[in-house]
Amino acid sequence: MKAFPILALSLGLTLAGCMSTTTTTSGIDYAGASGLPRATKVRVSTSGEPAKQLFGPVESPSAQAPESFGSYSKGCLAGAEQLPETGPTWQAMRLSRNRNWGHPALIDFLERFSARAAQQPGWAGLYVGDMSQPRGGPMSSGHASHQIGLDADIWMLPPSRLNLTATERENLSSISMRRANGAYVNAKWTKAHMAIIKAAASDPAVARIFVFPGAKVQMCKDARGDRSWLRKVRPWWGHHYHFHVRLACPAGDRTCVDQAPPPPGDGCKDAEGWVDRILNPPPPDPNAKPAPAKPPTTLADLPAQCASVLGAR
């Protein structure tokens, strides 16, 4: 593990006893089954150093029970598991980033999900982009979320082979699926893309999938029969080179904070509204004032267990 600055930690440790009111979709208590010590709450004295500078350089996970602390955009991850660089139906991309880590629930999901993707014509499996850092937490670049080991970016590029070298994984690019700034899909969009996203959304562990608005509208047009899976597929900016899968908090992770459930219904009208705003953007407000810059997240802003995660061997 690279050397990194540790903020002063008090010796007053208490067991993490906060009870969560979140709803989980995984019946496995990974933390309880691991036999490893759980991360504890630690009172932090901080100089205000950005947390991304503390979590980013760490190369290995903590030797603690696997557990997600906090929310997707403000948290950390104990006992992370690394997605193997290559598997029967996947390859991890951009290995130099060291972001192919996640909660064991995410690793389990990616293994079964990639096997389903490999059943589609022309898809050998999946190219998996950013997941989380070895101990989660804020990243130095690229993501506000991905902090608790329950998010993964899946490339839109159909893998034709799964024997890419490390150099190829650094230089190969995914492909964009959007047209007209994301209002529509382009000619590269296929039925297989929709089938793979549907398979992910149909997995009970998945809470949300983020795609560009035009893809959601296209899937709404093409969906037949049961449309309940569409509720989990939500439009969001970007997400045309990849789609973003987010799992719900696993069972037993007592301080993991789930995102509020999507609104009832299939969400298709909402996606159409996104498309309309892309094609007919409202005029700018001449009286609008620029939003003040947000201060960087510090260790003190994260759940109290994150200092224990950061300082563990």
Who contacts 59 (Cβ-Cβ below 8 Å, separation ≥6)? 1, 2, 98, 134
Task: Pick 183 or 41 by higher pLDDT.
Answer: 183
What average pLDDT does this structure show over 132-144?
90
Number of helices (H), then strands (E), belonging to the chain: the values are: 8, 15
3-state secondary structure of 166: helix
- φ, ψ of residue 246 to 5 degrees: the values are -125, 125
Residue in 77, 12, 79, 8 with CA at minimum distance from that of residue 41: 12
Q: What is the pLDDT of residue 39?
A: 87
The residues spanned by each domain of the chain are 9-280+298-311
DSSP letter string over 230-272?
A: GGGEEE-SS-SSEEEEEEPPPTT-TTB-PPPPPPSS--HHHHH
The band of 152, judged by pLDDT with boundaries at 50, 70 and 90, is: very high
Which of 25-39, 67-81, 241-255, 264-278 shows the lowest per-residue confidence on average (mean pLDDT)? 25-39
DSSP state letter for 184 = E
DSSP letter string over 208-231?
A: EEEE-HHHHHHHHHH--S--GGGG
Which percentage of the chain shows pLDDT scores above 70? 90
Tens-digit pLDDT profile for residues 89-108: 999 999 999 999 999 999 99
- 55 sits in which H/E element: helix 52-55
Q: What is the pLDDT of residue 25?
A: 54
Torsion of CA 131, 133, 135, 139, to 10 degrees: -110
DSSP state letter for 50 = B
Please check the confidence at residue 35 and state whether its pLDDT lies above 60. Answer: yes
Find residue 256's DSSP bridge partners: 70
What is this structure's pTM? 0.88
Q: What is the pLDDT of residue 47?
A: 66
Which percentage of the chain shows pLDDT scores above 90? 77
What average pLDDT does this structure show over 147-168?
97
Q: Which residue do the tokens 């802003």 mark?
A: 301
Fold of 9-280+298-311: Muramoyl-pentapeptide Carboxypeptidase; domain 2 (3.30.1380)
Q: What is the pLDDT of residue 4?
A: 40
Please check the confidence at residue 9 and state whether its pLDDT lies above 80. Answer: no
The band of 8, judged by pLDDT with boundaries at 50, 70 and 90, is: very low
Tens-digit pLDDT profile for residues 221-251: 999 999 999 999 999 999 999 999 999 999 9
What average pLDDT does this structure show over 37-54?
80
Which of 47-61, 62-76, 186-200 shows the lowest per-residue confidence on average (mean pLDDT)? 47-61
